[in-house]
Structure 1
Amino acid sequence: MQPTNTKTDSSFSAQSILKQLDACAAEFNYPVLDNGYIYPANSRLSVYGDAARWVLLIEVVGYHYRMRGHGGIENCLYFFGNCLPFEPGMQNFNMFTFTSDSDEGETFTGDALNPAVGSMLLNGKKVPVSHDPEYYTSRGVQLANAPEVKIWEFVRAINVDYEEEFLALEEEIRSRIPDDLPLMVRMDNWYHNDLAAGEKPSENETFQMLAHMLEKGDVELYQPTKPANNHWTNWPVGGTL
């Protein structure tokens, strides 16, 4: 991480950033990694800022079982900031889906992979679909009822191979925030607050440090002491409601 000093005045404060995050969290319009309806698979945090503007983006990739099939494989983009063209939090138009059936047939039957199909489309590109239990084990996913592969088990495993395909492109992000706003920090691992347990963003070390980093315009102020916990294995309740 290279130091970037972008802040020269006091047009916003760390307190105002944390206040917005807490307000969204109070309405549960904020990433809950153990959401009972969504099996988490991956996440990413990006922070943009300059002297007058800030944006904090959290992407949460997972499987929303109520949506079923390809419609449930989604990346939800939660935007927070003082220069957004929409209200902070998650809006329906900031939710991406990217998979569909290939010419082999339906990828899923019910809530599991179709054993007769060996491929699907990911962002329009044909990719293989594995039914081999070893494929999942090697990617940290233990099948609950092997050889059956549940959709969420599949999504978690294939994210290891195609992580970037499930995340937002920079041009997709830039179409939603000021194009000239500098990217300060992007991270795949961080210590996320447990909102379901009552922990506010303002009480979390990560967001406290990021807020002060934005206020001062200095990435060196982000010096985490707690181990990252945003990996899906740390949120076993997700999707189990």
Structure 2
Amino acid sequence: MDTTFQATFTAADILAQLDDYAEKFQFPMLDNGYVYLADSRLSAYGDRERWILLIEVIGYNYRAGGHSGIENCLYFFGNCLPFEPGVQNFNFLSVTDDCEDGDTFDPEKRDTLHPKAVSMLLNGETIPVSHDPAYYSARGVELEKAPAIRIWEFLRAVIVDHREGFLALEEEIRDRIPKDLPLVLRLDEWHHNDLAGEEKPSSTETFQLIAQMLETGDPAYYQPTKAANNHWKNWPDGGTL
């Protein structure tokens, strides 16, 4: 069955909104100087009259510190949101906490895993904490000041095994957007614009293709040629201010 259509909005409308919020620094900057990037996900929702783009950015904000610094920031854009697009305080998700075994992070050494931590809570479930350098190396994380383990190093490693626990649950997303709006695309990897380098979303293939896809309702429009770059290793300036 052909489900394509001609929407009441245009791809140009979508890209104009993304550019507008990028100019306001309300669009994901994967090398945000205050946040060590750990992971990200993109979801697009749409029908003939409505569209929403959600970009989740999971990282460690060292200004908040500890569990408060581990956050999933939900960036929403669209024409049917019940709130202003961009970043809103109520769209930050915090999913980790100490468990009864003790402190996860060292209260005396800021931004460091507690040397005696053995577990922590992720969405209320207990998960193990590792201090083995081989555990981190196997997940692509090299410890800068071993044996100390920085919180962002821990986050980047543990998210490999427990990614779903850090991402927004579909019900959490649906609490913020129309429940009947179809999900049309979800990406774990894509080519993201370099906002710090003044690259606009509208000049980026990823968002051009997604905008065309939403306008036509045809997922086949999303056929990227640019290599994905949203992995944290591609944004080394994140968290370095």
TM over 0.5: yes
Q: 1:45 and 2:45 equivalent?
A: no
Aligned to 1:142, the other structure's residue is in SS state: coil
Partner SS, residue 202 of structure 1: helix
Contact 1:78 1:89 in 2 (8 A): yes
Report matched runs for 1:46-195 at 5 Å: 46-109=43-106, 110-195=110-195
| Counterpart secondary structure, 1:196 | coil
**Distance across 2 between alignment mates of 1:10 and 1:206:** 19
1:89 aligned partner, one-letter code? G
User: Which residue in the other structure is 1:208 paired with?
Assistant: 208
- 1:230 partnered with 2:233: no
Structure 1 residue identity aligned to 2:232: W
Equivalent residue letter for 2:15 = L
Aligned partners of 1:6 and 1:50 also within 8 Å: no
SS in 2 for 1:47: strand
Change in 2 beyond 3 A, CA 1:51/1:162: same
Classify 1:21/1:6 alpha carbon distance in 2 versus 1 (closer, same or farther; 3 Å): farther
Report if the CA contact (8 A) 1:5-1:217 is conserved.
no
Please give the alpha-carbon distance, in whole angstroms, between the structure 2 residues aligned to 1:187 and 1:202: 18
Query: Which 5+ residue runs of structure 1 have no aligned equivalent?
Result: none
Distance in 2 separating the partners of 1:142 and 1:14:
41
Deviating beyond 4 angstroms after TM superposition, the runs of 4 or more aligned structure 1 residues are 4-7
Aligned pairs, how many?
Answer: 238
Secondary structure of the residue that 1:220 maps to in structure 2? helix
- Cα RMSD (Å): 1.0
Output the TM-score relative to the length of structure 1.
0.97
Correspondence list, 1:19-38, <5 A: 19-38=16-35
Unmatched runs of 5 consecutive residues or more in structure 2: none
User: 2:7·2:47 contact (CA, 8 Å) conserved in 1?
Assistant: no
Q: Per-residue CA shift, 1:85-128, capped at 9, x if unaligned?
A: 00001111010001111112111112100011211111111111
Q: How many Å separate the matches in 2 of 1:209 and 1:120?
A: 40
User: What is the SS of the residue equivalent to 1:210?
Assistant: helix
Q: Match of 2:203, as an amino acid?
A: E
SS class of match (1:152): helix
Shift of 1:10: 3.5
The whole-number CA distance in structure 1 between the counterparts of 2:205 and 2:2 is 21
Identity across aligned pairs (percent)? 64
Whole-Å separation in 2 of the counterparts to 1:9 and 1:32: 31
Contact 2:143-2:153 within 8 A present in 1 as well: yes
Question: Take 1:42 and 1:163, find their aligned partners in 2: how far apart are those partners?
Answer: 8
Q: Which has the higher strand share?
A: 1
